[in-house]
C-alpha cells in the first residue's frame, strides 16, 4: 500500500476506502465504481473530517440506488488527513491510491471520481489515472491564478467526461475561479461542461435534490452509457461561455409526478 509523508501525527495514517454505500457486492457483480471525495482544508495535518465524510453519504446513496441494476459500487474515500498541504498535494495522492485500490478490488470496470470542495480539486488532479473515465467536481476549491506557482493543470482531463457544478453564492470557494478553470479545461478537452446553481452556497444544500439528480444523470450516463438529459447534452456541446454557465433549473430530474426523467 502506498504511503506518503505528511508533517505531524498523520505520518502513521493510511488512506482507505470506506465500506460500500448501499448494497455490498462481490467483485464479480460490480459493473462500475464511484469514489466520493469529501471536502478538506488547504493546510492541516488533523484527521479527516467526519462531518465532511458524512456530507457525501446522501449523494452516495442516491447514486447507489440509481445504479443498482448496473452493479454500481460507491465508496467514500477516507483521507490520511484533511489538508491539501501545498506541494505534497496529499488529498490528490490519497485519491490516486484509492483509484488503484478500486482497480485491485474490482478489476477493469468504468470509474468516476466525484469530489466536493477540496475533494473536487483532488478529483480533477487525479483524473489522469488510466482507470478514470469521468469526473464530477462540486463547488471545487481552486487556487487563485495570480498567486499559484503554476496554473492548475488540465491536460490530465483529456479523454474524460468532466462536469463542474458551483453555487453562485459560494462564499468558501470562488465560482469565478471554477469558471476560469473550466474555460482552460474546455480548450484541452471538449467533453467539459459546467452548471451554475443560482443563489446556492458551498454545500449546495438549497437545491440538493436537483444537484443529486444532475450527478446521477451524469455519472450513470458516463459509466453505463445511459441516455442523459437534454441540459447535460446541450452543455457539453455548447461553446464557451454558454456550456460553462449552464443554469441548473429548479426541479431538474423530476417529472410532474415526481419520478426521475431519463
Please report, for the domain that includes residue 160, its CATH number.
Answer: 3.40.50.1820
For residue 213, being part of any structural domain is answered with yes
For residue 122, being part of any structural domain is answered with yes
Domains held by the chain: number:
1
Q: What pLDDT tens digit does each residue of the chain (262 aa) get?
A: 344 444 454 556 899 998 999 877 888 899 999 999 999 999 999 999 999 999 999 999 999 999 999 999 999 999 999 999 999 999 999 999 999 999 999 999 999 999 999 999 999 999 999 999 999 999 999 998 665 568 899 999 999 999 999 999 999 999 999 999 999 999 999 999 999 999 999 999 999 999 999 999 999 999 999 999 999 999 999 999 999 999 999 999 885 334 444 3
Q: Is the dihedral of CA 219, 192, 260, 249 positive or negative?
A: positive
Which residues constitute the domain of residue 156?
A: 9-247
Bond prior to 181 in cis (omega within 30° of 0): no
For residue 88, being part of any structural domain is answered with yes
Separation CA 262–CA 255 (nearest Å):
10
For residue 262, being part of any structural domain is answered with no
For residue 176, being part of any structural domain is answered with yes
For residue 4, being part of any structural domain is answered with no
Q: What pTM was estimated for this model as a whole?
A: 0.92
Rg of the chain in Å (alpha carbons): 17
Separation CA 139–CA 40 (nearest Å):
12
For residue 211, being part of any structural domain is answered with yes
For residue 257, being part of any structural domain is answered with no
Amino acid at each position: 500500500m502506498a504511503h506518503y509523508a505528511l508533517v505531524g501525527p498523520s505520518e502513521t495514517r493510511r488512506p482507505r476506502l470506506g465500506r460500500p454505500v448501499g448494497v455490498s457486492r462481490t467483485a464479480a457483480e460490480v459493473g462500475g465504481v464511484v469514489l466520493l471525495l469529501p471536502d478538506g482544508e488547504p493546510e492541516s495535518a488533523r484527521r479527516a473530517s467526519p462531518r465532511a465524510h458524512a456530507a457525501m453519504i446522501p449523494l452516495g446513496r442516491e447514486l447507489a440506488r440509481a445504479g443498482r441494476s448496473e452493479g454500481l459500487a460507491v465508496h467514500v474515500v477516507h483521507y490520511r488527513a484533511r489538508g491539501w498541504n501545498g506541494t505534497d498535494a496529499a488529498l490528490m495522492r490519497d485519491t490516486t491510491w484509492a483509484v488503484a485500490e478500486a482497480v485491485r478490488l474490482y478489476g477493469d470496470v468504468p470509474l468516476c471520481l466525484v469530489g466536493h470542495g477540496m475533494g473536487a480539486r483532488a478529483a480533477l488532479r487525479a483524473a489522469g489515472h488510466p482507470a478514470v473515465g469521468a469526473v464530477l467536481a462540486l463547488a471545487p476549491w481552486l487556487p487563485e491564478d495570480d498567486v499559484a506557482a503554476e496554473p492548475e493543470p488540465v491536460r490530465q482531463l483529456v479523454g474524460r467526461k468532466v462536469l463542474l457544478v458551483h453555487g453562485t453564492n459560494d462564499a468558501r470557494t470562488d465560482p469565478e475561479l471554477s469558471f476560469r478553470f473550466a474555460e482552460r479545461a474546455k480548450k484541452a478537452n471538449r467533453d467539459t461542461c459546467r452548471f451554475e446553481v443560482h443563489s446556492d452556497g458551498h454545500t449546495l444544500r438549497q437545491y440538493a435534490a436537483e444537484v443529486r439528480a444532475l450527478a446521477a444523470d451524469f455519472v450513470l450516463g458516463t459509466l453505463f452509457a445511459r441516455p442523459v438529459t437534454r441540459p447535460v447534452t446541450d452543455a457539453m456541446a455548447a461553446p464557451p461561455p454558454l456550456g460553462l454557465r449552464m443554469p441548473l433549473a429548479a426541479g431538474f430530474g423530476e417529472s410532474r409526478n415526481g419520478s426521475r426523467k431519463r
